[in-house]
Amino acid sequence: MQTSFTRRHALGLLTIAGALSVTAPVHAVDSGAQARTFVHDFGNKLVAIVNNDISLPQKKQQIEPLLEQNVDVDAIGRYCIGRYWRIATPEQQTHYLQLFHQVLVNAITDKIGDYRGVSFTVGPATPSGEDIAVSTVINRPGQPAANTEWVISSSSGAPKVVDVVGEGASLRLTQRQDYSSYIARNGGNVDALLHALTKQLANHH
């Protein structure tokens, strides 16, 4: 029932709102519906790969381009390093983002790689600062349903995921506290983080 909000409905709402010549709500309805459609499409593609009966390395191979296309990894990376982004040299910034791409892809594929029979429903979209949070319920066999919110930003031109909130905890905020705490405990040295991430990637299997 929740997923029945289709593009046609969105267009209909847009037309009505346009006819009433209310500018602000037009934008809100437009971006909310757009974000929901985006989550619906991206989620379906992801679930299709996850539920596919192929090997784990094959799944990873297929998921990676999908993530690069639909997730604003650079924006998440900059958020996660917090105040140290400004302290870092341009070389450190580039190196960090390279490492972060791999770390994020590994984290996501590790988490969903082994699942089978996943399904999800898209709930309502609510504004979250300048972005839009779309709530979903993810169902996995034999496990309690997981309420997950996807924060969608269009600041890069196209809608992209900039955060995932699971049971109230924002992944990017948690990650930022992890990284900034690690850097702070290593004398505020960004290289310490780069070294730790390189080591983490080397140990990944």
Q: Which residue ranges make up the site for other proteins (CB under 8 A)?
A: 82-83, 107, 142, 144, 146, 166-170, 173-175, 177-182, 184-185, 193, 196-197, 200
Q: CB nearer to other proteins: give 61 or 177.
A: 177
Q: CB nearer to other proteins: give 102 or 170.
A: 170
- Residue 54, phi then psi, degrees to nearest 5: -125, 170
Q: CB nearer to other proteins: give 10 or 105.
A: 105
CB of 129 to other proteins, least distance (A): 16
CB of 167 to other proteins, least distance (A): 5
Cβ-contact 133, 149 below 8 angstroms: yes
Kindly give, in sequence order, each residue whose CB lies less than 8 Å from that of residue 200, ignoring residues fewer than 6 positions away. 103
Q: Is 104 exposed, middle or buried (0-12, 13-18, 19+ CB in 10 A)?
A: buried
Q: CB nearer to other proteins: give 89 or 177.
A: 177
CB of 194 to other proteins, least distance (A): 11
* C-alpha to C-alpha distance for 2 and 111, rounded to whole angstroms: 26
CB of 119 to other proteins, least distance (A): 17
* C-alpha to C-alpha distance for 101 and 92, rounded to whole angstroms: 14
